[in-house]
């Protein structure tokens, strides 16, 4: 019987675990569950004899891959796979996949939720502002960017997008104005919502020069990764522009300095929770289980990222 380890430091909703179990049961695969582990040694032990692995933002390092003697496939139940050591996977002939799109709506709803929250002064009782008629820039028009734009249309926002990997015609078809550079996006839009992945090219790529271009009462919304922000330069923008706010799904490393000096101009989730809905967990977890079975039984490598 094939064994599938679900290793989630931040657990899926119970309904999603039930969904994964149902999918695996049908294929006669065994579910091994490791949730809320506090030490990596628990992960290393649990992965030893499994054939497949499902994780969320859990770090699948070379050490993990080396410890997993029977591992054939690891699926990151989610979009960003910057937590997987792809080289280590490839070296051990382990297929790595993600489940693109499965949790995107949840992340997009949080992005809009945080925008409303900051526009209303973090619900401090004073008069805030509205989103209707404001310009929103989508930085990378992938699955999450798509849903952010769809929801923002309901708010009556004017939407722009920059994505060098997406055809401008596709963006236009969605009633969004494509722009040709990040600089143009930031200088046009009061709100910018980040959806770029974290990789060697994008790490620390959002800094003073871009943020300082934003129009008055600028808000940066980050449901992507904290690593794409240049934090020293973020602090400089906060210091130089009293009208700048930052909302982010997972706090930056410099959160204490921001909290001490820039009260009311930020909101950070205590733990990354963009994808923390029952629906997103069921979709991403269920897709991961199905992809594992389809790979092991039929060799299907759709969604392979290494």
Among the listed ranges 43-51, 78-86, 160-168, 292-300, the one in contact with ligand 3PG (CB under 6 A) is: 78-86
Site string for ligand 3PG, 166-195 (x = CB under 6 A): ------------------------------
Q: For ligand 3PG, which is the closer residue by CB, 97 or 218?
A: 97
Among the listed ranges 73-81, 84-92, 116-124, 212-220, the one in contact with ligand 3PG (CB under 6 A) is: 73-81
CB 289 within 8 A of CB 23: yes
CB 80 within 8 A of CB 103: no
Q: Does 142 bind ligand 3PG (CB under 6 A)?
A: no
Nearest residue to ligand 3PG on Cβ basis: 78
Q: Does 198 bind ligand 3PG (CB under 6 A)?
A: no
Residues 91-110 that bind ligand 3PG (CB under 6 A): 103
Q: For ligand 3PG, which is the closer residue by CB, 78 or 178?
A: 78
Q: Does 20 bind ligand 3PG (CB under 6 A)?
A: no
Task: Give the residue from 76, 140, 151 showing the smallest Cα distance to 111.
Answer: 151
| Rounded Cα–Cα distance for residues 289 and 305 (Å) | 17
Q: In the bound complex, what is the minimum distance in angstroms from residue 158's beta carbon to ligand 3PG? A: 27
HEC states along 242-281?
A: CCCEEEECCCCCCHHHHHHHCCCCEEECCCCCCCCCHHHH
Among the listed ranges 77-85, 135-143, 182-190, 236-244, the one in contact with ligand 3PG (CB under 6 A) is: 77-85
Q: Write out the DSSP string of 78-91.
A: SS--TTB-HHHHHH
Q: Coil, strand or helix: which one is 238?
A: helix
CB 221 within 8 A of CB 190: no
| Rounded Cα–Cα distance for residues 56 and 260 (Å) | 32
Residues 246-305 that bind ligand 3PG (CB under 6 A): 272, 274-276
Task: Give the residue from 124, 147, 119 showing the smallest Cα distance to 218.
Answer: 119
Among 57, 143, 188, 219, binds ligand 3PG (CB under 6 A): 57
Length of the chain: 306
Residues engaged in binding ligand 3PG (CB under 6 A): 10, 56-57, 78-80, 103, 272, 274-276
């Amino acid at each position: 019987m094939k064994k599938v380890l679900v290793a989630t430091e931040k657990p899926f909703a119970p309904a999603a675990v039930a969904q994964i179990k149902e999918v695996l049961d049908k294929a006669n695969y065994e579910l091994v569950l490791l949730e809320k582990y506090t030490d990596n040694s628990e992960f290393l032990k649990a992965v030893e004899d499994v054939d497949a692995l499902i994780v969320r933002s859990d770090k699948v390092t070379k050490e993990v891959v080396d410890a997993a003697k029977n591992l054939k496939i690891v699926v990151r139940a989610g979009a960003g796979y910057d937590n997987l050591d792809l080289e280590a996977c490839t070296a051990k002939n382990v297929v790595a996949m993600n489940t693109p799109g499965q949790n995107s709506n949840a992340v997009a709803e949080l992005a809009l939720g945080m925008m409303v929250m900051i526009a209303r002064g973090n619900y401090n009782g004073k008069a805030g502002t509205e989103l209707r008629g404001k310009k929103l820039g989508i930085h990378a028009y992938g699955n999450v960017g798509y849903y952010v734009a769809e929801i923002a249309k309901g708010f009556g926002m004017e939407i722009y997008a920059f994505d060098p990997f997406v055809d401008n015609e596709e963006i236009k078809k969605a009633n969004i104005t494509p722009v040709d550079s990040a600089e143009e996006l930031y200088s046009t839009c009061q709100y910018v919502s980040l959806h770029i992945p974290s990789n060697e090219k994008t790490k620390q790529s959002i800094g003073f020069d871009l943020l300082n271009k934003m129009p008055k009462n600028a808000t940066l919304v980050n449901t992507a990764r904290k690593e794409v922000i240049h934090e020293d330069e973020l602090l400089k923008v906060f210091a130089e522009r009293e009208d700048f706010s930052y909302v982010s799904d997972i706090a930056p490393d410099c959160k204490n300095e921001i909290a001490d000096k820039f009260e009311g101009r930020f909101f950070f989730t205590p733990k990354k929770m963009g994808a923390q809905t029952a629906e997103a967990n069921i979709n991403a977890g269920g897709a991961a289980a199905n992809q594992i079975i389809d790979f092991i039984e039929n060799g299907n490598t759709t969604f392979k990222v290494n």
